[in-house]
Amino acid sequence: MERGRLLEMATIFGAAAVLGVLAYVAAVGLYEIDNYGKAAEKTAFGAGQYTTVRVYATQFRWVFDVNGTRTINEVKIKAGRLYRFEVTSVDVVHSFYIRELGYKYDAIPGQWYVLWVKIDRPGTYHILCAEFCGAGHYLMMGKIVVEP
């Protein structure tokens, strides 16, 4: 009986230690993601040199506003530069999902969410709506074109 009790306690403490390490790694990673732009601004590279991209989700398209120029379902950015994406919705809840980068932010009417993005590899990255937003939900696809 004593040996079984020790094995049970070792299993509980071992599982707690593993979960503690995973929680720490997740917390550090989320902090890095949420504060990426703030940290980049403090370095010589960042120093306030970023471009703001406003993203408006509306049924069933993405509207991008870069310095007053609006585009629908496509935004072009430069590789290696820092961008501040400000995401909101005009009508219902949407979800701004860049699957290749693993970014997913909800777009909620009346709320602005900030997403800091710096993509080093040129190419095309797909944007999907990961929240069912109506009958034309499947049409809500956009792309980020990263130019060298």
- Tens of pLDDT along 2-58? 888 889 999 999 999 999 999 999 888 777 766 666 665 565 455 567 889 999 999
The pLDDT value recorded for residue 118 is 87
Domain boundaries, the chain: 1-43, 50-146
Query: How much is the pTM?
Result: 0.71
Please give the CATH topology (third level) of the domain spanning 50-146.
Immunoglobulin-like (2.60.40)
Q: What are phi and psi for residue 103, nearest 5 degrees? A: -95, 135
Residue 22, token pair as written in the block: 């995973």
Residue-wise pLDDT tens digits, 132-144? 988 989 899 999 9
The pLDDT value recorded for residue 44 is 45
